[in-house]
Amino acid sequence: MINKSALFVLLLSSNILFAQRDLTMVEATSGQYTSFAPKALSQPKWKSENAFSFVSVNRDSLLIKSKDTKWKNTSALTAKELTSKLNKAFKNIVFDIKRIPYDLTWKDEHTIEFSTYDKQDSFKYKITFDLKEDKVINHFKYNTLASEEIISRNDNYLAWLKENNIVITSNKGQDIVVTNDKNIAVINGSGSTHRNEFGIDQGMWWSPKQDQLLYYRKDESTVSDYPLVQWNQRVAENKNIKYPMAGMANERVSLVIYDVLTKEKVQLDTGIEDQFLTMVTWDPSGNYVYVGVLNRQQNHLKLNQYNAATGAFEKTLFEEKATTYVEPSQGLVFTPNKNNFLHFSEKEGYRQMYLYNTDGKLEQNLGFENVIVEKFLGFDKEGKNAFYMGVTNTGLDRQLFKVNLKKGKTEQITTESGTHNLVLNNEKTLFVDQFSNLDTPNKVSVESTENNKTIELFEAKDPYQGVIDMPKLELVTLTAADNKTKLNGRILYPTNFDATKKYPVMVYVYGGPHAQLIKNNWLGGANLFFHYMAQNGYIVFTVDSRGSFNRGRDFEQVIHRQLGQAEMADQLKGVDYLKSLNFVDQDKIGVYGWSFGGFMTTTLSIHHPETFKVGVAGGPVMDWKLYEIMYGERYMDMPQENEEGYAKTSLLNKADKLDNKLLIIHGAQDPVVVQQHSMDFIEACIKANKQVDYFLYPSHQHNVRGKDRVHLNTKIANYFFDYLAKPSK
């Protein structure tokens, strides 16, 4: 006989189990970053060597954790208090700040810098505020539509973009028009130069001399106009963008220095060749500028030095050549002694750091084993050591490393297998670490770089436990089609998995450069849509094939001149693994991917319809001749140079082989993979008398974002349900 207490516990347990449910489609689309996001520190920033700030959950307060208070929370500022302070400081302007600004940083332990708008959104403001003295000590007031703002090192000037031109606003309230190009094909100061390839993420750089601005000038006059039809008018209108297709005319880029005091300009003598300019870096003296000059073929890089006063070419410090391609990834980083710099290169197989002097002599190879430098984090106070995040464990982990510049000796500081997402203080003595792996949603700690001392702040609970019936997730290791290279795979099992049953499969694929789908972090790199499919009775499988990111030069460059071929072979090795599992229904395997993954989905559908009975290809490349120069020619060379490769990888000439259910999805405003790819493929299918399904999102670009993504995910799921296998629940 059960007593009342035992009965209550039994009923409570059964209610908890009963409460677990499947994800809704809305949750599967956005819940990973909202309602089911593990507890974390938002926007951590060090305010001093022993104290850091972060933002409250609802973003209305700035909180502090410090060593002095044993890392307990104290309040620094609320959005309401900040509003009051600004309204007191600016007599004729009204502010109404609801949230702590996203770009808030600490200039020193008492001074913050941030951007905001007035209540009417009439102007944008960049404000430096002293919390100790309770006063504004510097500010800029400028156009509310400004973009890509950058402040001079003495805080006197702020450069910003007004459409395709540059304006400098002084902290005295004066606007200086730097460029006034009426030709909209000429774009000044933009970080989108060379379509953000080659590590380019900004288009303007202030000199160490404070009053000189270096900037890109991009001339797209010879680049073809590409039409994007705008459907939201009474009569549809055309909007042209500049799209430099492979093998066609390229943009011409130059570098110009503007002197704020003299109003004069100097153009660097980089030549007028068809080339790419990247790795742009001021010399610490302000007397020189360093530029990586990469040829159109992308196989020959020169690091050149130019005279900042005259623009004249001074010398080439070193060169890098390859039979495939050279891919610069960021600018130079000068060391604190200012006489040498770090260069980032994968010339020896992995992206690592090399210490050069300004004569171009290699002083130290700072690479460590096969660790890939993912992010440079700075130098310690003495300038003896450099810190960086490194990719380890065959691409799965992210760890913190320290390397001695003189000796080249490397020390791994974090060791727990997984993903360390951290912020170092200025002296590089302490860091805030937010750590996750497959078993850990988020573990937050303050750690020392010197003695491995760790103070755990909190460990987040599993946000799905007791709420969502989450599928089992497992990482697996496969062997590539070359029979030697190890590949990372991920498998999601259906909920209530029964190994005696047969399950349909969704293979999710990308496979191309600069993307990695599988990581040792919370959820293993999988999004909740895949969990939704698993909850509906599907095995969801992914493999990072050769050609994907963070495994080194040779792993990626096997795809050169023949995109999709090695990747397809490796995906088929993944299918072989699936077929070795007794619980896989070999007659019900489908494939889904977007962008390069859409290209791979269509490639697999055309070449292996007997295996992939259903495919969903989003934003797919169908012929690399229709893709842009910077990315496309790096991997395929120019069409004139690689006719065989372009013909082999094109899907337009293979539509007659289509023999599965294929849904193509495209955004009509896509400026990356233009809609012509899918339209040309549909036309080829019509001519070959092959049926293909098509869906267009009229107002979306390269992907479908916002609330419309629920519609997208529903469409993808239903296509699998309708043509591969109905949900098992």
Identify the active-site residue in 345, 570, 670, 677.
Answer: 670
Sorted by sequence, the CB contacts under 8 Å of residue 270 that are 6+ apart come out as 254, 255, 277, 291, 293, 304, 306, 313
670 has catalytic annotation: yes
570 has catalytic annotation: no
Q: How far apart are CA 142 and CA 174, in angstroms?
A: 10
Q: How far apart are CA 426 and CA 178, in angstroms?
A: 34
In whole angstroms, what separates CA 512 from the centre of its chain?
14
Strands, E assignment, 572-729: 584-594, 614-618, 661-667, 693-697
Q: How far apart are CA 695 and CA 474, in angstroms?
A: 33
CA dihedral 161, 163, 165, 167 (to 10 degrees): -40
The answer to whether 546 and 553 have CB atoms below 8 angstroms apart is no
Q: How far apart are CA 683 and CA 692, in angstroms?
A: 10
Q: How far apart are CA 297 and CA 148, in angstroms?
A: 30
- Select from 717, 726, 709 the least CA-distant residue to 30: 709
Identify the active-site residue in 702, 708, 711, 728.
Answer: 702
702 has catalytic annotation: yes
Q: How far apart are CA 492 and CA 281, in angstroms?
A: 45
SS3 content of the chain, % helix, strand, coil (to 5): 20, 40, 45
What DSSP string describes 656-681? Answer: GG--SEEEEEEETT-SSS-THHHHHH
Sorted by sequence, the CB contacts under 8 Å of residue 606 that are 6+ apart come out as 651, 654, 655, 657, 658
The answer to whether 229 and 237 have CB atoms below 8 angstroms apart is yes
The answer to whether 636 and 246 have CB atoms below 8 angstroms apart is yes
Q: How far apart are CA 148 and CA 185, in angstroms?
A: 19
CA dihedral 640, 644, 649, 653 (to 10 degrees): 90
The answer to whether 467 and 21 have CB atoms below 8 angstroms apart is yes
The greatest distance separating any two alpha carbons of the chain, rounded to the nearest whole angstrom, comes to: 96
- Select from 512, 513, 498, 579 the least CA-distant residue to 541: 579
Positions annotated as catalytic residues are 595, 670, 702
